[in-house]
Amino acid sequence: MPTTALVWMRRDLRLSDNPALEGARQRCERIIPVYIHSPDEEAPWQPGAASRWWLHHSLEALHHALQERGSRLIIRRGDSLGALRALAREAGATEVHWNRCYEPAATERDSRIKAALRAEGLWCASYNGLLCNEPWTLKTGQDAPYRVFTPYWRQLAPRLAQQPPPTPAPAALPPISDTLERLDVDALALQPTIPWDQGLREQWRPGEAGALERLSRFVSDGLDHYAEARDLPAVEGTSRLSPHLHFGELSPRQVIEQVQAGRPDPELSEPYLRELGWREFSYQLLYHFPQTPAEPLDPRFAAFPWRSEDADSLLAAWQQGRTGIPIVDAGMRELWQTGWMHNRVRMIVASLLTKNLRQPWQQGARWFWDTLVDADLANNTQGWQWSAGCGADAAPYFRIFNPVRQGERFDPQGGYVRRWCPELHRLPDKLIHQPWQASETEREACGVRLGRDYPWPIVDLKASRAEALAAYDQIKRGGSATRARS
């Protein structure tokens, strides 16, 4: 009788370079790919709205890719352990294979499931399909996890060049009996009930084929200029591979292989590979400090005096791209319409929220979690704690981005602002990032009525910077955790 394996797919929605799929194929004649929708098991970080949209289309793409190879994706819903048990009984499976996840809730669940299935006689194996080096592999000389990126990168960089080559997708897979029931992707209700996703559909092609196409295009057209163009939000200077990596439609080994093959000169490849290194660094931090999605890594910041006065209105203005600070509003509108935001702009909007508006970084992290198609717990947490100054290798507390200067430096012709804040498009370059500095005559000539067409700034940048520095000084001196009123 042929042996049968379940391949439990989660953050590895691809057929090429999939260690769990390859492991199952080497041991068993029959392979049953299965996806179990169990968002409550990821609490309190269930997928947000933009992630659910992406997941719907990625699952559809995976199912079609499996059908082309003679198989199909079995979709179930509910308790993962119960679903795996039931499917193993129905299919006569004796093995379960999966690629590891590293979020706190997922690692606890997976350990529990592996122990339970093994106790019932099922052979279980888990693999690394998400990272180049797993979070526990690199340690400091004191056998501790790294909290500073540069020494971590010195250890990681040589290992990237030593990665085994990625494995190709199987040309064919064994058929799966029609008697095995599967849910349709639509039954998971991942799509929005109100059609707000047009911008996402215009920008993205979820799925493995879309990921490989985007990677190839970036290596051929974007990698040579990445070091200079990655900070310019008005141009497509980044790879935009982050959602594909998050959902596992692409493995980091595939990215490394193409980048190094396409541009073997380290001066061209290293700036981009460092970004993969930051991704690995973020996963290491999340694994070793699982409290950080909700709590600052630097415990002093638990006492930071966040602003309480007008907190709700300040947060809402930031979320809606109505702060009156053009580069910030452009970024927040790009996020709302496309599910993505340029990385330089992510730092600018995060700095404004946590420092000038003095609103908790957790509020920003939650908003990004719901609206980003690449919402990733490790990267989201590290990014927000870095911006707020309370994480590992964080920006110094006194580094407060001036959004006007940032806009003038990285969007000097104002193309990014004009695209996402079209009400300002007639302003000259010298005023596009600070329309409040234009005279009333200049604003009238450009059709800009502050307070009507576009808001006045909701915060004084100079005064709020001074207040933020005073707040940081308070926690340095062991001040109270009381939220400030102004």
- SS3 string, 268-328, reads HHHHHHHHHHHHHHHHHHHHHCCCCCCCCCCHHHHHCCCECCCHHHHHHHHHHCCCCCHHH
Extract the annotated binding site.
Answer: 226, 238-242, 272, 374-376
SS3 category, 97? strand
With contact defined as beta carbons under 8 Å apart, do 300 and 472 qualify? Answer: no
Q: In the annotation, is 123 catalytic?
A: no
Task: Please identify which residue in the block is written with the tokens 């604003």.
Answer: 443
With contact defined as beta carbons under 8 Å apart, do 375 and 50 qualify? Answer: yes
Q: Which helix (H) or strand (E) holds 123?
A: strand 123-127
Nearest to 139, CA basis, from 128, 163, 158, 155: 155
The catalytic residue among 60, 257, 278, 423 is 278
Q: In the annotation, is 384 catalytic?
A: yes
Extract the annotated binding site for FAD.
Answer: 226, 238-242, 272, 374-376
Q: In the annotation, is 98 catalytic?
A: no
Q: In the annotation, is 275 catalytic?
A: yes
The catalytic residue among 384, 386, 420, 467 is 384
Count CB-CB contacts under 10 A for residue 451.
8
Question: Rounded CA gap, 148 and 157, in Å?
Answer: 15
Question: Rounded CA gap, 129 and 220, in Å?
Answer: 25
The catalytic residue among 60, 236, 275, 423 is 275
Question: Rounded CA gap, 224 and 201, in Å?
Answer: 28
The catalytic residue among 343, 402, 408, 442 is 343
The catalytic residue among 8, 204, 361, 386 is 361
Task: Please identify which residue in the block is written with the tokens 């010195």.
Answer: 154
Catalytic center residues: 275, 278, 306, 343, 361, 384
